[in-house]
Amino acid sequence: MSITVQASGATGLTAEEVEQRRRDGLTNDVPDRASRSVREIIRANVFTRINAILGVLFILVMSTGSIIDGMFGLLIVANSAVGIIQEIRAKRTLDQLAIVSQAKPTVRRDGVAHQVAPKDVVLDDLIELGPGDQIVVDGVVEESALLEIDESLLTGEADPIDKAVGAEVMSGSYVVSGSGAYRATKVGRDAYAAKLADEASKFTLVHSELRSGIDKILKFITYLLIPAGLLSIYNQLFSSGESWRPAVTGMVAALVPMVPEGLVLMTSIAFAVGVVRLGRRQCLVQELPAIEGLARVDVVCADKTGTLTENGMRLSDIKILDGFDDGAVRKALAAMAGDDPRPNASVQAIAEELTDRPGWQHTAVAPFSSAKKWSGFSYGEHGDWLLGAPDVLLDPASEEARTAEELGSAGLRILLLAQSDRPVDAPDAPGAVQPAALVVLEQKIRPDARATLDYFASQDVSIKVISGDNAVSVGAVASSLDLPGGEHAVDARRLPEEREQLADVLEQQTTFGRVRPDQKRAMVGALQSRGHTVAMTGDGVNDVLALKDSDIGVAMGAGSPATRAVAQIVLLDNKFATLPYVVGEGRRVIGNIERVSNLFLTKTVYSVLLAFLIGLAGVGSQIFGYEPIGYPFLPRHVTIAAWFTIGIPAFILSLAPNNERARTGFVSRVMRLAIPSGIVIGVATFVAYLIAYAGPEASETQKEQAGTTALITLIMIAMWVLAIVARPYVWWKVVLIVASMAAYVVLFTVPFTREFFKLDPSNVALTTSAFVCGAVGIVLVEAIWWISAALHGEERRLIPASPGGSA
């Protein structure tokens, strides 16, 4: 049987033909990455709903002639500028890494094969294929050596499809086994998967618990803003009895702090900075939620080869079995290794050692596949040879099988060279197998593997070693790394099919060998059915389905293009030890965003409540005839109130180290502090204002003193909320809090800033009452924090649990 059929023109296009197609625009002009352009980034960060609200309010304040009170307009510039800068930095990092990571097809031109970038493929290019190669454009098969294509990423069909000459192949699929070549018939945006890939590779924030939680919070706030805003507008313009200028500035002062203008910005910044930090470690984050998702993972399924062990292997020994001589075995091995067009690490190690090829001509070939665990070549009169797993090709009770198992138990990789009684491409191959030799290969354990496993163990993250190799060999590697349960490796061929039973085994065992690709996928699903968040690491074609189904897929940069295409995270340095940094970055993002969310939402709650209280008091004044009440603050007051209780501290806290474990329930935890704290601040500020309020006919000095009294109370309690959010304390957090307090002392005591911001704490009685109201509020907020912890069973600490522990 002829194993390769070639169409005419197998030398590929000529250089002149390639150049002509480029001039005609017949290139694969799909962008390398679907990230937003700089123009789109600028537009998205400038034209936001929050900027629109602040912009309208800024125009209203400017109409009163009070430029100072329009300082909050700087938020528009700051929000946009910081967001643009960070996203562009992240975009550049991602785009550079994506170019390194992208699949590079091998095209044949002028009879010479060489790798090119996907965008350099032109129409009618002849593209060579081997196991693990991604199909980058649509085409028609021109050469086929038992070529099998997996189209599951496009069609959902998990079984590989045989592709003979003339068969169509679609971009987005990948080669499972065999080799061949296809001619590009559709390139660029005409290709089947171009639009799908364009959407799938976008740098987005979708499907994130953190982002969806913030969206829920913002919806809740929106419902509060509408009635509170309308009530404030009515009170200031119609009930307060003030002229239009102070009425408008009061209305704006009431509305501005209701908008959590920095919350979405801080979230985006934290994610973007995370991407840049991980990019410096040669970690490509293909989807933003992966940073957050890996921080929530509680089970990591790790492939052995390429993850716990290094990719490269070395031929250690060839143990000749009865009935064969050393010369014949070495010739067969050298021939098979030399004829394999896409050798894996094992075959490559054999080829590097056995360089004297016998020059045999093969008549049939059976490419290696993860399903059957063997490959083979038929060499006519020289015999039909198989190379594969001993425990698959041999009778388990045989002496040769026992020898192979003993060698494998030492952590060595063992392959069996055998002769078959029929051609290797026969339907019933391998047939009767006659063992010829045991090929002993050494694989090196990664030096950083043990430290990485120890890290995950310390973080209560379970490790499941899932490998296609012999279970005894996998167990030896796991045991050498002190993985709990590693010495009791499970042969996956004896695993139950039923999901519940499989999940029971996975809960109890840690190490599995002889796992088929479909079993890897089933194991991921079984773990997920028990509520686990599963990360899958891998580098081979046999890992693709499991990577795709896992919560977080992590591919090695040196792995097959197909694994890199479906993974959310690609470790370009091929280091399993990079994963702890990704986990740490995710925890930093989640923990810190939760902290700053508390600050922003507390401000929103107290602003809305204060607006309601003032507004209801204004409505009540019309009904019951008492003196109307205007809003206590100028826009400049709410601006400085946010500077050191939220703005600057939130920015610093959002970028700080944080190793706290990620937990679900983000929204409820934030609301548990923000709502009661906001209520306390709002009520205490309102009471302090009522104490100091001298009526609508009050002098400017009395109005300033009343506003200052309310502002002191608000800042005191808001600072205490900051102090709570910053816990547990480390030195730099203490410095941050003390510096924020000192900044307010300066604002309230230096004559220039007092006059500039219209602050007057000179009335001792009113200032004393402000401190009393603030102190009561502080006690209440502190009590709420401890009571909430007791009710929900949460641990509270003022300092880290261990020396040097990150907070």
Q: Is 89 helix (H, G, I), strand (E, B) or coil?
A: helix
pLDDT tens by residue, 356-411: 888 899 898 888 776 778 889 999 889 999 999 898 888 888 888 888 888 887 77
Tokens 């090695």 belong to 556
Q: CB under 8 Å to 391, separation ≥6 — which residues?
A: 401, 404, 405, 470, 491, 514
Q: Confidence class of residue 199 from pLDDT cuts 50, 70 and 90?
A: very low
What is the C-alpha separation between 299 and 54, in angstroms, rounded? 45
- CATH code of residue 566: 3.40.50.1000
Say how many C-beta atoms besides its own lie within 10 A of residue 628's C-beta: 19
Q: Is 513 helix (H, G, I), strand (E, B) or coil?
A: strand
CB 450 within 8 Å of CB 479: no
Q: Between 345-353 and 326-339, two packed helices, what is the crossing angle to 10 degrees?
A: 120
pLDDT at 377: 93
The last residue of a domain, from among 513, 541, 572: 572
The last residue of a domain, from among 523, 547, 572: 572
Instruction: For residue 49, count CB atoms less than 10 angstroms from its CB and return exposed for 0-12, middle for 13-18, buried for 19 or more.
Output: exposed
Q: Confidence class of residue 805 from pLDDT cuts 50, 70 and 90?
A: very low
Least reliable range by pLDDT among 83-97, 181-195, 413-427 = 83-97
Identity at 4, one-letter amino acid code: T
* Residue 543 sits in the same domain as residue 410: no
pLDDT at 335: 93
* Residue 333 sits in the same domain as residue 423: yes
Q: List, as own/partner pairs, every contact residues 554-559 make where C-beta atoms lie below 8 angstroms and the sequence separation is at least 24, other chains included.
A: 554/294, 554/579, 554/582, 556/306, 556/307, 557/100, 557/101, 557/282, 557/284, 558/306, 558/311, 559/132, 559/306
Nearest to 484 by CA among 515, 459, 448, 509: 509
Identity at 475, one-letter amino acid code: G
Say how many C-beta atoms besides its own lie within 10 A of residue 515's C-beta: 29
Asked whether residue 693 is assigned to any structural domain, the reply reads: yes
Asked whether residue 240 is assigned to any structural domain, the reply reads: yes
CB 239 within 8 Å of CB 620: no
Q: Which residues of 235-259 are buried (b: 16+ CB within 10 A; e: fewer)?
A: bbeebbebeeebbbbbbbbbbbbbb
pLDDT at 625: 61
Look at residue 626 and tell me whether its pLDDT is greater than 70: no
CB 409 within 8 Å of CB 403: no
Identity at 132, one-letter amino acid code: G
* CA distances in angstroms from 428 to 114, 177, 270, 421, 431, listed in the order given: 37, 18, 58, 11, 6
Asked whether residue 807 is assigned to any structural domain, the reply reads: no
pLDDT at 684: 95
Q: Confidence class of residue 431 from pLDDT cuts 50, 70 and 90?
A: confident
* Residue 626 sits in the same domain as residue 765: yes
Q: CB under 8 Å to 406, separation ≥6 — which residues?
A: none
Q: Confidence class of residue 806 from pLDDT cuts 50, 70 and 90?
A: very low
Q: What is the DSSP code (8-state) at residue 643? A: I
Instruction: For residue 35, count CB atoms less than 10 angstroms from its CB and return exposed for 0-12, middle for 13-18, buried for 19 or more.
Output: buried
- CATH code of residue 60: 1.20.1110.10
* Residue 451 sits in the same domain as residue 417: no
Nearest to 632 by CA among 259, 258, 254, 260: 254
Least reliable range by pLDDT among 276-285, 304-313, 491-500 = 304-313
Asked whether residue 482 is assigned to any structural domain, the reply reads: yes
- CATH code of residue 421: 3.40.1110.10
Q: What is the DSSP code (8-state) at residue 497? A: S
Instruction: For residue 287, count CB atoms less than 10 angstroms from its CB and return exposed for 0-12, middle for 13-18, buried for 19 or more.
Output: buried
- Over residues 58-86, the mean pLDDT reads 70
Q: CB under 8 Å to 86, separation ≥6 — which residues?
A: 268, 269, 272, 273
Backbone torsions φ then ψ of 692, nearest 5 degrees: -90, -15
Q: What is the DSSP code (8-state) at residue 647? A: I
Average predicted confidence (pLDDT) for the chain: 81
* Residue 681 sits in the same domain as residue 693: yes
Asked whether residue 162 is assigned to any structural domain, the reply reads: yes
For the chain, what is the domain count? 4
pLDDT tens by residue, 681-723: 999 999 999 999 887 777 888 889 999 999 999 999 999 999 9
- CATH code of residue 135: 2.70.150.10
* Residue 66 sits in the same domain as residue 179: no
Give the domain range for residue 21.
5-30+111-199
Asked whether residue 803 is assigned to any structural domain, the reply reads: no
pLDDT at 739: 94
Tell me the DSSP string of 212-251. Answer: HHHHHHHHHHHHHHHHHHHHHHHIIIIIS---HHHHHHHH
* Residue 764 sits in the same domain as residue 640: yes
The last residue of a domain, from among 395, 418, 445: 445
Look at residue 202 and tell me whether its pLDDT is greater than 50: no
CB 499 within 8 Å of CB 507: no
CB 385 within 8 Å of CB 419: yes
CB 321 within 8 Å of CB 436: yes
Asked whether residue 74 is assigned to any structural domain, the reply reads: yes
Least reliable range by pLDDT among 52-66, 235-249, 457-471, 628-642 = 235-249
pLDDT tens by residue, 744-757: 999 999 999 999 88
* Residue 750 sits in the same domain as residue 680: yes
Q: Confidence class of residue 807 from pLDDT cuts 50, 70 and 90?
A: very low
* Residue 241 sits in the same domain as residue 289: no
CB 147 within 8 Å of CB 342: no
Least reliable range by pLDDT among 179-188, 261-270, 719-728, 758-767 = 261-270
* CA distances in angstroms from 183 to 10, 113, 144, 350, listed in the order given: 10, 14, 12, 32
Q: What is the largest CA-CA distance in the chain?
A: 114
* Residue 156 sits in the same domain as residue 10: yes
What is the C-alpha separation between 76 and 555, in angstroms, rounded? 40
pLDDT at 9: 46
Catalytic residue among 303, 391, 425, 543: 303
Look at residue 494 and tell me whether its pLDDT is greater than 60: yes
CB 217 within 8 Å of CB 670: yes
- Over residues 443-465, the mean pLDDT reads 85
CB 557 within 8 Å of CB 573: yes
pLDDT tens by residue, 728-739: 889 999 999 999
Residue 454 bears catalytic tag: no
Tokens 């038992």 belong to 146
* Residue 468 sits in the same domain as residue 560: yes
Q: What angle do CA 174, 175, 178 make, to 5 degrees?
A: 170
* Residue 421 sits in the same domain as residue 407: yes
